[in-house]
Structure 1
């Protein structure tokens, strides 16, 4: 019995008396509606919680982390440490080992650079020299980094779904349909298939109200709506060479993080005053407000943002208004996400909204944030000092301390962090979130009809 199946049985014993023996039924079709794209793209670009969830149906990273921190293989069949500074991945086949090495080399190189390349920074050569031997991928470390295995579980390190070697708990069998993969390494999903339907927010509400969906992903959060960890962090980045030295002071004095999350951003969302989200770095008592610099008219800057992210559009418009009072005329330029990341890689921007799905571990999360801030040079200084601590709690504490200490020196201001909320019909059981904040749809099952269930839809 896999960890997922054991967890599902425990949940079932406490929730469904009619199946008191703990046997989870296999089979059935689950209708899932969502507000994401019909086909998520490259893993490093499909990095919102919803997109990562959809991509994860068909392509998983090497491993996955449960909410309690337990790590288990996913795409990889086995993770091991044959030596203190070598991690070994055993993949299902030589072709899949080769495909994964190529994907990581591409991510770490200059062809398609991404802030998620920082997850591979502890590897010797930063992951650009990987060469599989058969079905095995050896990962030599350049310095001690005990958190590498958990970093490798990040969804951005999965294979693109279009690569034949990609594997997930389901396989695509037709338009908007995925079927259970019987040979999935973690045990076949309980469900036979998922029917996926992409829609907008209004359509999601209609499908749910008409009982045409049993799971709704990307709903607006309320007090009774389950949601995953808020690790999708949005920052305002700027190029120090292209804005005045007092720009940080101007933005800090104009920011209203609480208002952004309450009025302009889809929940679940929390204000993020530190470089790491509150899920990784608890918020300390608020600092004194930053006095604004003397406004000077005529400062013109351009703010680029993700054209496919409605929250970024709303926040960009709000920043445009708030910075106007500080003497900045802000022009807004929406860009497709791929072009936005390309501009970031080339350093061709003045202001940029940058949203990133951070790992659920402070050290790897700090690495991604520093790279996104254009301070890759700090990785070689900070990460070895964090990784030198053998105790996990001590590493987490050091990473949090360094995040606080480095915040004033990086051209990046944290704004807010978001999670993914969902609704599930009473007949859907076993639906839990992993440590990344993503719902594990492969662990869900359909319960036999139970009457008198509180909250059941009529």
Structure 2
């Protein structure tokens, strides 16, 4: 039998007290192979869907989004609003509160070099100073932002997966996770997870030899279930280092439909706007004509060495921009180095992939900051947050994302959902 959903697979790993009456017996171990890194420690850099899922086993964010558009506590015991302009987060203990406050202050600082800092923009001081009060964090808003709780569910805002992190599981040696009995949401069903990190060839070998029971991050043409396609890839470019008509050159050269179908692992969608189609289902603009011919020019396109799709996309952009008179040199960088270059503005071209929140307002905040328009956050977000209705806020965010601000040096490319999670059991 194969279960068709990543969430269904992972639901087997952690318990919920509300389901206690129908719960199977505790115990046993599960062998899991995945296509991610052997270890995931820094939440702000663990922003592929697979890495975010692995991180959540050890160190989840304060809450998690639900299928009905709401949220529920994860690391936190409770989230409450003493007033409309404040949020109180009650954590399992003072140590958890201190670890979370430190993680948020680091992310919000200039040293954090993370576009996810935009999720803190509605907070007074943008979370640069968060002081725990015992096991509680008291957050004050600078302007109305009803979607704050949804924003804080983002996995990039989880505390690091340190030895004292509090999640469903705890690390017990390389590749081994053991059930965390102190997990606030209830003891996981399983005693132990055995994780094996490998590549696509290794995943196929382990699966065919029945050495694993679950595979995460493996493509399948026949039995793939994608979560919401929120893992978005953009082409960032530096207006200071490129001609004024460079956007026209890119938009005229790149066919997003072909790029997605031929060079991005399914399931994926072309992304013609600042927000993914699941949030902004608007027709794509007609592709412009090519700009006037210019003398040949050499530029460097940097991309994430750990994301296989990015190399294929970068090579395709290299070919298409050659038709517009650009010789594109490719440079693969570790994600931390790539984000540091982004924060410093030290690039000509860069492929930048982001795991966007599932709510249009917070997603727009991340995209604007990542696209070099942090200055627009103080203009756009208060106007969105002032609307009482969630439907009105979502509509306003979509309206502001389409058409996107032309000075934004940012060209959307593609977006992906969860690659695949397969679970098989064999009789006997």
TM-score range, shorter chain: over 0.9
User: How far, CA to CA, are the matches of 1:405 and 1:287 in structure 2?
Assistant: 9
User: How far, CA to CA, are the matches of 2:45 and 2:103 in structure 1?
Assistant: 13
Query: Within the alignment, does 1:185 sit opposite 2:184 as a pair?
Result: yes
User: Contact 2:80–2:87 (CA<8 Å) still a contact in 1?
Assistant: yes
Task: Give the superposition deviation at 1:58.
Answer: 0.4
**Corresponding residue SS for 1:50:** helix
User: How far, CA to CA, are the matches of 1:101 and 1:173 in structure 2?
Assistant: 26
User: Unaligned stretches of 5+ in structure 1?
Assistant: 10-20, 428-448, 452-458
User: How far, CA to CA, are the matches of 1:391 and 1:199 in structure 2?
Assistant: 46
User: How far, CA to CA, are the matches of 1:25 and 1:379 in structure 2?
Assistant: 49
* Higher mean displacement: 354-363 or 183-192: 183-192
User: How far, CA to CA, are the matches of 2:284 and 2:376 in structure 1?
Assistant: 27
Task: Name the residue aligned to 2:237.
Answer: 238
**Corresponding residue SS for 1:354:** strand
**Corresponding residue SS for 1:227:** coil
Task: Name the residue aligned to 1:404.
Answer: 402
In the alignment, which of 281, 295, 300 is matched to residue 293 of structure 2?
295
Task: Name the residue aligned to 2:327.
Answer: 329
Task: Name the residue aligned to 2:134.
Answer: 134
List aligned pairs for 1:347-386, cutoff 5 A: 347-386=345-384
**Cα RMSD for the two superposed structures:** 1.8
List aligned pairs for 1:16-31, cutoff 5 A: 22-31=22-31
Task: Name the residue aligned to 2:44.
Answer: 44
In the alignment, which of 422, 425, 447 is matched to residue 423 of structure 2?
425
List aligned pairs for 1:34-433, cutoff 5 A: 34-162=34-162, 164-282=163-281, 284-427=282-425
User: Contact 2:17–2:185 (CA<8 Å) still a contact in 1?
Assistant: no
Task: Give the superposition deviation at 1:408.
Answer: 2.9
User: How far, CA to CA, are the matches of 2:288 and 2:364 in structure 1?
Assistant: 24
Cα deviation digits, residues 236-265 of structure 1 (max 9, x gap): 001111111100100001112122222211
User: How far, CA to CA, are the matches of 1:7 and 1:369 in structure 2?
Assistant: 37
Change in CA separation of 1:223 and 1:394 when aligned onto 2, cut-off 3 Å: farther
User: How far, CA to CA, are the matches of 2:377 and 2:114 in structure 1?
Assistant: 15
**Corresponding residue SS for 1:111:** helix
Task: Give the superposition deviation at 1:286.
Answer: 3.6
Deviation beyond 6 Å, 4+ runs, structure 1: 6-9
**Corresponding residue SS for 1:258:** helix
**Corresponding residue SS for 2:50:** helix
Cα deviation digits, residues 356-400 of structure 1 (max 9, x gap): 000111100000000001100000000000000111111111111
Change in CA separation of 1:233 and 1:92 when aligned onto 2, cut-off 3 Å: same
* Higher mean displacement: 400-409 or 321-330: 400-409
User: Contact 2:214–2:424 (CA<8 Å) still a contact in 1?
Assistant: no
Task: Give the superposition deviation at 1:104.
Answer: 0.6
**Corresponding residue SS for 2:69:** coil
User: Unaligned stretches of 5+ in structure 2?
Assistant: 1-13
User: How far, CA to CA, are the matches of 2:67 and 2:427 in structure 1?
Assistant: 28
